[in-house]
């Protein structure tokens, strides 16, 4: 990977084709936004195409868009917490306040993004599904496992597949009576996008849980459930992104439990089944 993204960019500005020059100018003037955007969002904002954005990154010496964003994020900060200098916590107390206020803001934003009619449609699909697959890698993979385990308590045939090969195999065997969730903050995780694409090709009803309203995963989703809290390449796995996902999925679980004709009975049975596993 070449050194600085901004240094490489400034050295070539003025010598690019008009299409690439538009992308260069957009990045130079909006670098702090670009690190949170998908390739589709950058292409739209610069009045260009996804292919041009990728070519732009490669012309600068990077392997692709994600490689370029990582270098750009490194140029912009010297701390793993990406904040303007005046907003960075300077003490233990201000750090505690920052973490708390960030979490509260994320929950408020997630609530405003919730489309309850669409969420209710997804709940209906959960209640009727023969099988439910969950795809996600890294931090999103643990979120997928958490939700699958909750639905299992309601008797749902729900399984999370953090391994991309297992996800692809399972997705290929789904059908019209099945449901598949793809969880990705950026909406650009290749393995998750590919698994959801395979599930859609197999005929399953597909749901994307993502911050990226304009991201690759949404192309293969029948329903797009939006979360808050963007992540930069340096802050993947942030608490904000995690709690936004958990809030949204906990709504789905709660509504499913409330609407399930045997919801209370099943939750009681499954709780009793593991009661002797605690001291």
Q: How far apart are CA 122 and CA 33, in angstroms?
A: 31
28 pLDDT band, cuts 50/70/90, is: confident
> How many angstroms separate the CA atoms of 163 and 242, rounded?
19
Of 25-29, 43-47, 74-78, 166-170, the one with minimum mean pLDDT is 74-78
What are 192-251's pLDDT values in tens digits? 999 999 999 999 999 999 988 888 999 999 999 999 865 555 455 567 788 999 999 999
Range 98-277 classified under CATH 3.40.50.150:
no
| pLDDT greater than 60 at residue 273 | yes
Please write the tens of the pLDDT for every residue from 55-82.
888 888 888 888 888 888 877 764 444 4
CA angle (213, 219, 222) in 5-degree steps? 90
Domain 5-76, classified CATH 1.10.10.10, yes or no: yes
Mean pLDDT (the chain, rounded) = 87
User: Over the stretch 163-208, which tens digit does the pLDDT of each residue have?
Assistant: 999 999 999 999 999 999 999 988 889 999 999 999 999 999 999 9
The pLDDT of residue 221: 97
pLDDT at position 231 is 55
Q: Where are the domains of the chain?
A: 5-76, 98-277
b/e map of 39-71 (b: 16 or more CB within 10 Å)? Answer: bbbbbebbebeeebbbbbbebbebeebbbbbbb
Of 116, 151, 2, 152, nearest to 63 (Cα)? 2
pTM of the model: 0.74
């Amino acid at each position: 990977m070449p050194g600085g993204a901004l240094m490489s960019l400034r050295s070539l500005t003025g010598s690019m084709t008009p299409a690439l020059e538009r992308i260069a100018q957009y990045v130079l003037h909006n670098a702090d936004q670009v690190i949170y955007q998908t390739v589709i969002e950058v292409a739209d904002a610069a009045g260009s195409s996804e292919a041009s954005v990728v070519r732009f990154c490669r012309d600068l010496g990077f392997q692709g868009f994600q490689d370029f964003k990582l270098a750009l994020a490194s140029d912009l900060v010297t701390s793993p917490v990406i904040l303007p200098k005046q907003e960075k916590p300077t003490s233990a107390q201000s750090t505690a306040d920052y973490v708390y206020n960030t979490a509260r803001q994320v929950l408020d934003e997630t609530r405003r993004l919730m489309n309850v009619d669409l969420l209710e449609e997804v709940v209906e699909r959960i209640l009727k599904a023969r099988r439910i697959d969950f795809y996600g890698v890294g931090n999103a993979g643990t979120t997928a496992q958490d939700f699958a385990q909750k639905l299992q308590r309601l008797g749902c045939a729900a399984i999370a597949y953090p391994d991309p090969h297992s996800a692809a195999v399972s997705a290929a065997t789904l059908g019209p009576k099945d449901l598949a969730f793809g969880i990705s903050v950026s909406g650009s995780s290749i393995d998750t996008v590919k698994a959801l694409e395979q599930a859609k090709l197999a005929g399953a009803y597909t749901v994307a849980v993502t911050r990226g309203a304009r991201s690759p995963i949404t192309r293969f989703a029948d329903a797009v459930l939006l979360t808050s809290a963007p992540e930069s390449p340096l802050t993947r796995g942030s608490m904000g992104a995690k709690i936004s996902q958990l809030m949204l999925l906990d709504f789905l679980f709660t509504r499913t439990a409330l609407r399930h004709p045997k919801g209370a009975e099943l939750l009681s049975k499954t709780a009793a089944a593991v009661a002797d596993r605690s001291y």
